[in-house]
Chains A and B, each alone.
Chain A
Amino acid sequence: MALRADAQPIQVVAVERHSPGRAALRRFVRHRLAVVGMVLLTIIVLLAVFADVVSSRPFFTDVKAVSQPPSAEHLLGTDRSGRDVWARVVHGARTSLVVGLGAVAIYVVIGTVLGGIAGVRGGRTDFAIMRAVDTLMSIPTLLLVIVFVAAIGPSLFSVVAVIGLLGWPGACRLVRGQMLSLRESEYIMAARVVGVSMPGILFRHLLPNIMSSLAVLATFGVASAIILEAGLSFLGLGVKVPVPSWGEMINAAQSPTVLIDTPWLWIAPGIAIALTVLSVNFIGDGLRDALDPRAVRRR
């Protein structure tokens, strides 16, 4: 709609000016599923942080109350060693969040550094890094992680380290691609002509431009890292037994008696994983729509 020259002033006032950040925030808040995800995740994070307040003693084994169904005393029942399932689910959230955030933080840094080097240096360095990326990407991450966990032994630390050290190719490819296209852009050329130093260009112009794509990638990365940790712990190759982990709790359900007779043992952590991952994915979806100004608006 063309703006008429004799448009009333009030209409002009109505056109607010938005900084890109404010505009992105508005788009995010309008994304209904993203807001749902944000609320859910906030609750989960709060439960994880105050796990000791909202539940008690995830390690305490009550031999007199083994495999109890949900009751007033034990909200989600007890497991085969008489441990409170609710307490273990809430404390398991800590494990999942630590793995998700820790591993992704590690690989986003590695990926950004390597992708930046590949994009800026080009030539042989670029070729070598990209072949490593191709190799890592063509092999199932779970298999690689299993190999490395088998080598260094399963523990919370090794799960974070292994996912962090093997997960970087996606971030690396993204940063390199952006670097390559941004390098040729006119405002970078302008910055160079004015005489801005290379690190200056990198930190003031290139990185801020990549941040939004990187944030989206990292959000989805957290979701898949949480699933990966749960899968590893489910296979008995992840977090070691006394540490509560959702995957490890579900591991018990591989025995038919647990699966059939005490379903609360695996349904509760199963729902916990699904809700956490779902809310992170919703947020990622919202972020992608909000941060990409070219994205087509939904409705």
Chain B
Amino acid sequence: MATYILRRILIAFPVLLGITIASFVALSLAPGDPLTARMDPTVLAQLQRNPQLLQERRHELGLDQPVPVRYVIWLSGALQGDLGYSIQSHRPIAEEIAKRIPPTLALMSVAILIAVLVGIPLGILAALRPYSKADYGMTTVTLALSSVPTFVLGLAAIYIFAVWLDVLPSGGMQTLGRPNSILDFASHLFLPAMVLGLASAAPLLRYTRASMLEALNGEYVVAARAKGLTPNTVVVRHAFRNSLIPIITVLGLLLPELVAGAVITEQIFAWPGMGQLAVRAASDRDPALMMGVVLIIGTAVLITNILVDITYARADPRIHLGAAS
């Protein structure tokens, strides 16, 4: 187990390196000069009369180096926790990112919780009565739900709950001028987490249903029933236990989607998290900030992938992670 985790971590590094290299190369292909693009035109005009000065600035920032050298400079900085400065806000990127991690973590973990609590039980119910009206209805609703983009769902939620019914705040993380209270935070978190959670609950429900249907057809389920176990015990301890592996796989696969959903949800609900930062980095054409965001989200996704693999072994004792594949 320990060796397996160690090996997975070792494999994760080249992957992370690959992601950052690809992003770095792509961002350095961007047209425009990162040095002059953000400069006051009058200052720029002055500098252009004095190319020597411009060249010095360029050299100072390492911008006269070829792309591979610049990547190594960026990487060695990143390893020491120095991600550079944002072009737009002129603040250290590491600081900007650190501020935005807790809100995103809160949003995503509550959303996952909602997805699991809604998707898995309903999926089991659908599998227990396959091709019934309830099952048919749920299939249609989940298909419809996964066809509506997150931002339309979010806007509709704001329109209904914040404008029409006026029971929940439309965005942000807390009410201005009010002392920090957990209730206030929860009321702000409710809508975005609900939108994000329900969007992921839909595919989870469908996979749970399929996986449970297969498990319920197993001979061990027949045996358990014949033995006289209560229906609940059969479903929960025998069928569900065995359908857990595909469900965990799907949860792992849903994670990247959840991150993508968070980017858009944060934008709609003005939730001050990483996703919002990613969008800002893109619309400001801020390559250094973008690299920071890519590094952090990439690391987070890789760590969760490893966690998913470890969960496999916990859920199914037949899986031995130590064995060479």
Contacts and interface: CB of A to CB of B under 8 A. Distances in A.
Given A135-B19, A266-B155, A237 B279 contact: yes
Contact of B147 (A137, A138, A277): A277
B278 interface: yes
Contacts of A135: 15, 18-19
A131 B170 CA distance: 42
B67 interface: no
A146 interface: yes
A234 to B, nearest CB: 5
Interface string A136-177: 011111111011111111000000000000000000000000
Interface stretch (A78-86, A178-186, A210-218, A256-264): A256-264
A270 B159 contact: no
Interface size class of chain A, counting residues whose CB lies under 8 Å from the partner chain = 35 or more
Interface stretch (A119-127, A199-207, A223-231): A223-231
Interface stretch (B83-91, B121-129, B297-305): B297-305
Interface stretch (B37-45, B55-63, B109-117, B282-290): B282-290
B281 A231 contact: no
Contacts of A143: 259-260, 263, 278, 293-294, 297
A102 interface: no
Interface in B300-320: 301-302, 305
Contact of A230 (B149, B285, B297): B149
Given A234-B151, A259-B158, A151 B30 contact: yes
The size bracket of the interface on B is: 35 or more
B147 A146 contact: no
A298 B135 CA distance: 12
Nearest to B27: A151
A231 B264 contact: yes
A141 B148 CA distance: 18
A299 B29 CA distance: 55
A151 B29 contact: yes
A282 interface: yes
B256 A141 contact: yes
Nearest to B163: A260
B231 interface: no
B152 interface: yes
B233 interface: no
A52 B199 CA distance: 35
Contact of A231 (B23, B150, B278): B150
A147 B23 contact: yes
A63 B131 CA distance: 55
A231 B149 contact: yes
Interface string B232-269: 00000000000000000000000011011001100110
B282 A237 contact: yes
Interface in B135-151: 140, 143-144, 146-151
Most-contacted residue by chain B among A137, A140, A277, A278 (CB, 10 A): A140
A182 to B, nearest CB: 23
A137 B256 contact: yes
A92 B268 CA distance: 22
A131 B16 CA distance: 12
Contacts of B131: 298-299
B152 A270 contact: yes
B149 A227 contact: yes
Contacts of B147: 223, 274, 277-278, 281
B62 to A, nearest CB: 19
B301 A259 contact: no
A237 B151 CA distance: 14
Contact of B148 (A148, A150, A274, A298): A274
Given A151-B30, A152-B29, A250-B155, A138 B256 contact: yes
B309 to A, nearest CB: 12
A254 interface: yes
A99 B239 CA distance: 42
Given A135-B19, A140-B256, A142-B260, A150 B282 contact: yes
Contacts of B293: 143
B31 interface: yes
A135 B302 CA distance: 9
B31 A274 contact: no
B150 A236 contact: no
B27 A235 contact: no
A146 B289 CA distance: 13
Contacts of B15: 131, 134-135, 138
Contact of B143 (A137, A146, A281): A281
B260 A150 contact: no
A137 B152 CA distance: 25
Given A143-B294, A150-B283, A259-B158, 13 more contacts: A33-B143, A138-B301, A138-B305, A146-B279, A150-B27, A150-B290, A223-B147, A235-B267, A235-B283, A270-B148, A270-B149, A274-B148, A298-B131
30 contacts: A131-B15, A132-B18, A138-B305, A139-B301, A140-B260, A140-B297, A143-B259, A143-B278, A143-B297, A147-B294, A148-B26, A150-B283, A150-B285, A151-B30, A223-B147, A230-B149, A231-B149, A237-B282, A237-B283, A247-B149, A250-B152, A253-B155, A254-B267, A254-B268, A266-B155, A270-B148, A270-B155, A274-B149, A278-B143, A278-B144
Interface of B: 15, 18-19, 23, 26-27, 29-31, 131, 140, 143-144, 146-152, 155-156, 158-159, 163, 170, 256-257, 259-260, 263-264, 267-268, 278-279, 281-283, 285, 287, 290, 293-294, 297-298, 301-302, 305
